[in-house]
């Protein structure tokens, strides 16, 4: 480490790195935590990086994992830089004091993107504000899509999740040299990053590596193995190759990405459809991670900060005009949502009674949001009272139709609301005070485990971040969550069953008619999950 304001240097077990001082903090970018996952390492678990001689320059972001670009409909709202190169298993560190004596809290960030897109180089995730406020911030790249979550007979499952575990181990072992305290690591993620973070909490191999966790808009979950296999077979059929890792490794990388984008074009959180995801593998994921965290001893000493945005579904429905199409489909769309959520008529009837003036898209969107996010996060908080804190982000975007949508809170968490990439989703006029208040809550949680409001108990306190500043509401989603109390926890199945017929025409399932309509809807929009 060099004194003064010359470029900071830190020694790791694999070699020294030279960062930069920017805005009063030290930044190290593109540090490899594992070897490039190509050639003989393709589709295999991560391996340690090769040591290097001398001092490696860490002034620029490293390569991003291979990924297709967002569709035009989503790219107008979401930024996703692409940096070429094979050495994509890298991470970045922002620290106020690259000094082993500092012992500062650490926040490790796992980006979202449906396990198919995203990277640590997205400007919204700049860690400067965390370092400015005394927290060492680490952001991680990991394998995506077919490279990270393909399921093959000749390769181990979940290599992307194994990348994240390797990065977490690197942080635990190395972060002390950057000023971090390995005993105060907060694992944080949004959407697919939150799903990953929650799944890692339950993994036997991660026990003792994490002190706290933040799950933003994503509970721990696994997909049915057959669903992931079907995604792989869909790609294999298009490529006219066997559905094996060996065959996929021989395909041109750009062609593989184009094929992946086309195979996943018709999937979305609202409509379901083809997807990559984490699967139970008997090793890193020995069982359903949500159930493991609820009824097991996994991560029992870990504090949890969990939450959602008020209108998650609007990012899934507004781009490409899907919201209007769902409204026009009416009963057919409701029937599709019932199948997606594994429920009968009583749940949509309850939502209609609570929101008599709402359109079909809003009923469908809130149902799916609760099914995917609020119900499982409530269950997890109920199992861990006293050490769980819940929030809802309710400030609406300045852009038409988006409301308080999925991913909107990210610029507030990182206090990067003024960045052009944040304004793509938030529009102009994001309140600086709300950015400061939400960011400060995350800093407090990473530092002490207390974000500044009441821990979860029988009164169900939820911190609302919206217009007029934060306040605590008690049980604001309890009525909706209670509608699901008679719905059994679903076991993933290869294909959704047609909803049971019922007496109410508004939500009657028309069997093959709704299935065909949903297929037409998917084709017309090509919606993609973030």
215 lies in some domain: yes
**CA–CA separation, 516 and 63 (whole Å):** 41
Query: Given this model, what pLDDT does residue 516 score?
Result: 54
Query: Given this model, what pLDDT does residue 46 score?
Result: 98
Query: Given this model, what pLDDT does residue 332 score?
Result: 85
Provide the CB-side half-sphere exposure for 160 (13 A, CA): 34
Count of structural domains, the chain? 1
Measured in residues, the chain has a length of 530
Query: Given this model, what pLDDT does residue 523 score?
Result: 53
SS3 category, 182: strand
Query: Given this model, what pLDDT does residue 356 score?
Result: 95
The residue ranges of DSSP E strands in 113-240, in sequence order, are: 136-140, 180-190, 212-216
List the chain residues with pLDDT less than 70.
1-4, 489-530
Q: Is 409 a catalytic residue?
A: no
Query: Given this model, what pLDDT does residue 480 score?
Result: 97
Domain extent for 178? 9-485
Q: What are the C-alpha distances in Å from 232 to residues 227, 388, 492?
A: 9, 37, 17
Residue from 111, 172, 406, 460 carrying the catalytic annotation: 406
| Pair of tokens at residue 25 | 């903090």
DSSP secondary-structure letter at 91? E
Query: Given this model, what pLDDT does residue 272 score?
Result: 79
Supply the CATH number for residue 337's domain.
3.40.50.1820
- Which positions ≥6 away from 233 have C-beta within 8 Å? 243
530 lies in some domain: no
- pLDDT tens digits for range 69-87: 999 999 999 999 999 999 9
263 lies in some domain: yes
**CA–CA separation, 80 and 123 (whole Å):** 9
CB 502 within 8 A of CB 344: yes
Query: Given this model, what pLDDT does residue 505 score?
Result: 30
The residue ranges of DSSP E strands in 78-135, in sequence order, are: 90-95, 104-110
242 lies in some domain: yes
490 lies in some domain: no
436 lies in some domain: yes
Residue from 139, 191, 206, 422 carrying the catalytic annotation: 191
300 lies in some domain: yes
Is pTM beyond 0.75 here? yes
SS3 category, 510: coil
Q: Is 397 a catalytic residue?
A: no
Q: Is 342 a catalytic residue?
A: no
Mapping DSSP onto H, E and C, the string for 485-502 reads CCCCCCCCCCCCCCCCCC
Query: Given this model, what pLDDT does residue 499 score?
Result: 31
491 lies in some domain: no
Residue from 119, 147, 292, 312 carrying the catalytic annotation: 312
Residue 18 buriedness (CB in 10 A; 0-12 / 13-18 / 19+): middle
């Amino acid at each position: 480490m060099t004194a003064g304001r010359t470029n900071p240097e830190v020694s790791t077990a694999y070699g020294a790195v030279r960062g930069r001082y920017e805005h009063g903090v030290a930044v190290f970018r593109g540090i490899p935590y594992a070897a490039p996952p190509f050639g003989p390492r393709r589709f295999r678990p991560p391996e340690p990086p090769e040591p290097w001689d001398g001092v490696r320059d860490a002034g620029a972001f490293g390569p991003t994992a291979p990924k297709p670009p967002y569709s035009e409909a989503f790219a107008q709202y979401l930024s996703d830089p692409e940096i070429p190169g094979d050495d994509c298993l890298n991470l970045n560190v922002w620290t106020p004091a690259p000094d082993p004596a500092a012992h500062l809290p650490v926040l490790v960030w796992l980006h979202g993107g449906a396990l198919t897109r995203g990277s640590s180089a997205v400007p919204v995730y700049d860690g400067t504000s965390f370092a400015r406020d005394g927290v060492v911030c680490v952001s991680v790249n990991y394998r995506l899509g077919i490279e990270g979550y393909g399921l093959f007979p000749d390769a181990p499952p979940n290599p992307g999740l194994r990348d994240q575990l390797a990065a977490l181990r690197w942080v635990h072992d190395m972060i002390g040299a950057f000023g971090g305290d390995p005993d105060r690591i907060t694992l944080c993620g949004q959407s697919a990053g939150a799903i990953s973070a929650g799944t890692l909490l339950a993994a036997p191999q991660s026990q003792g590596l994490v002190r706290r966790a933040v799950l933003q808009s994503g509970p721990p979950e696994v997909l049915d193995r057959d669903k992931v296999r079907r995604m792989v077979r869909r790609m294999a059929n298009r490529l006219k190759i066997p559905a094996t890792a060996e065959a996929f490794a021989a395909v041109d990388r750009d062609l593989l990405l184009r094929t992946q984008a086309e195979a996943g074009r018709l999937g979305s959180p609202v409509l379901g459809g083809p997807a990559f995801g984490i699967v139970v593998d008997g090793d890193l994921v020995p069982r359903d991670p949500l159930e493991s965290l609820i009824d097991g001893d996994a991560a029992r000493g870990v504090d949890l900060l969990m939450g959602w945005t008020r209108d998650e579904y609007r990012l899934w429905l507004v781009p490409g005009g899907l919201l209007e199409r769902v409204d026009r489909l009416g009963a057919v769309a409701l029937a599709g949502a019932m199948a997606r959520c594994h429920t009968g008529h009583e749940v949509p009837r309850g939502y209609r009674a609570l929101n008599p003036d709402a359109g079909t898209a809003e009923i469908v969107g809130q149902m799916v949001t609760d099914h995917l996010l609020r119900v499982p996060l409530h269950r997890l908080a109920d199992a861990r009272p006293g050490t769980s804190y819940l929030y809802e982000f309710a400030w609406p975007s300045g852009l038409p139709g988006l409301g308080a949508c999925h991913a909107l809170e990210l610029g507030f968490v990182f206090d990067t609301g003024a960045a052009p990439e944040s304004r793509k989703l938030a529009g102009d006029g994001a309140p600086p005070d709300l950015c400061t208040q939400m960011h400060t809550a995350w800093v407090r949680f990473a530092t002490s485990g207390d974000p500044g409001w009441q821990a979860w108990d029988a009164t169900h306190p939820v911190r609302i971040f919206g217009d007029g500043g934060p306040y605590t509401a008690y049980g604001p989603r309890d009525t909706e969550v209670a509608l699901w109390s008679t719905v059994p926890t679903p076991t993933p199945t290869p294909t959704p069953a047609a909803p049971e017929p019922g007496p109410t025409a508004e939500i009657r399932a028309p069997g093959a008619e709704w299935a065909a309509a949903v297929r037409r809807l998917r084709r017309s929009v090509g919606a993609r999950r973030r």
